Structure formats: C-alpha cells, structure tokens
Amino acid sequence: MGGNETLDVRLYETGHSWNHIPQPTPAVFVDAWDKDHVKMPCSPRSLYVENKVSVRRWDVIQRVLSQKIDSATAFQIAVNTYNNRYARTWNVDCLSAALRQRPDFVPLLQKIADLALKAPDLVTQPVPLLRQNKERSLSLSQLQIACLLANAFYSTFPRRNATGVNSEYSDFPTINFSSLFCGTGYTDESNVEKIICLLHYFSRVFDKDGPPSGTVTFTRRCLHSPPDFSVSEVLVGSIPFGVSSSCLIEDTQGTALHVDFANRLLGGGVLHSGCVQEEIML
C-alpha cells in the first residue's frame, strides 16, 4: 500500500474570490483517453455506432439532451438512444416513482440535461483517477462536480456500464446512475428516496441565488508500512475498550486504537438497491 508519489491536481484556476465561481482550467477542453483518467463523455474518442455508422457519441448525446425532457418516459428514451445495448434491461421505475412523489422536481430533468451538456466548458480536462498506492489530491469547483453528476444522472460516461470482474473499471465505483433508476421489485423504496435526495441536491444547484461557488478537495492517503493483521497474535479480548458519550472518536488522544469497517469502494453500493451503511468507525 505504500508509494512515494504525491500529486495535487486542480481543475480550476486559483485566486478566485469566495463569492465568485472558479474558472475551469485549461480554458479549452484538452482530452486524455488513457488508464490514468476518467474517460469523459465529451471526448472525441468516445464513439458510438448509430445506423451502422460510427459517430462521435457526444454528438448523439448533445442531440437527444437538447430535446424536451419533461417526464420519466422522455428521460428513458433519451438515455437509451446512446446506451442502446441496455435498452431492454434498463428501466426507470424508481425514477418514475420518485417523480410521482415529487412532481415539482419534474422540471429539473431538463435543467440537469442542460448542465450535463456544459461539460466541455466546465470540466476542461479529464478527471484523474485516484489509484491505489499513490497519494494524490484532486480539487474541483462545486459547479464542476454538479456538471459531472449531471452527466452521471444521464448515464453519459463511456466504458462505465460494464460491471464484470474483467471490465475496464471493475476496481472503481459505478459512475452512471442507471442502476439507481431501475426498479427490481426489491428494496425499491430506498432507491426512490435516494433519487429524491439527488433531485433535491440539483434543486439547490439551480437555486434562484445562482450556482454554488465553493470548491471541494478529495485526497487519497497511503500507509507506507501497513500492519499485517494476518500474522498478528494479539487477541481482541486483550485490548481494553471504553465508551464515551461526550468524546468523538476523531478527538481521542494517546494510545486509542481506531478501527474502520468500510466498503472496499468509496460510496459502497449507494447507486444500487438497499441502504446499508458504507462505513462504520469504532
């Protein structure tokens, strides 16, 4: 788990004032189609076969998301247009149920589509992958994150629908939201509530006061000499445990031992059915 490489990447220009939206950098979209970056929906190297002709997938996405999307049915037709391979297996039952509960969120479908189409202007370089064994920080503006999530909402990210163990991104969490929208008849209620939560997030992005102007940094840390628990002879029962109603785990001092039970993927299975807690710290 060790590594000496440390890299900080910012997708926006520094020096902006707190109440102004950071400007993306570089000024014009620069593509990278490799194993170290997220393959972007707007990449000219993302191709799609339409009417037996290979075309730029982003051109198809632009065409269909520019049309009126005012219902779950219209949403499904749009998404299936550039994900035709999955048209017979994907459905939007959970999205339909969420919009029945919150009809006031229906207008967000078009706004989210419009935001997704701004990807070449807002996220002007591919997002680096925070791979294992490399310490790296990635900083984005809140508006850039919203744009990426808008594309995830419409399942525009290429090479991310395959989920097999040998698929290109098998070691990374799911990006596209298609799995969240599908009704399975099992724990659909939790998915409906997740979708309502997401739609509420987008309602805040499109608030009358304007889009958010903050920034977010994600950092991956590595243990250079991790303990090998497989050969440890220390018995769990020999470790003293204490309970406090006033002290946070993060604030403990001295020789306190933290144990973190977490899903191997950031976010766990949040884009699938159920609502099992991703991380538990003791």
pLDDT in tens, 176-216: 998 898 876 655 888 999 999 999 999 999 999 889 999 99
pLDDT band at 25; cut points 50, 70, 90:
very high
The dihedrals phi and psi of 21, each to the nearest 5 degrees, come to -70, 125
pLDDT in tens, 160-178: 888 777 888 888 888 999 8
Give the whole-angstrom CA distance, residue 22 versus residue 143: 9
If residue 56 lies in a helix (H) or strand (E), which one and from where to where? strand 53-56
Largest CA distance in the chain: 68
Q: Are 123 and 139 in contact (CB under 8 A)?
A: no
What are the catalytic residues? 260, 278-279
Check pLDDT > 80 for residue 235.
Answer: yes
pLDDT in tens, 88-135: 999 999 999 999 999 999 999 999 999 999 999 999 999 999 888 889
In a domain, 91, yes or no: yes
In a domain, 248, yes or no: no
Range of the domain at 25: 6-226
In a domain, 253, yes or no: no
Q: How many domains does the chain have?
A: 1
Check pLDDT > 50 for residue 242.
Answer: yes
In a domain, 265, yes or no: no
* Per-range mean pLDDT, top range of 93-97, 240-244, 265-269, 276-280: 93-97
Task: Tell me which residue of 86, 258, 238, 267 sits closest to 174, measured CA to CA.
Answer: 267
In a domain, 191, yes or no: yes
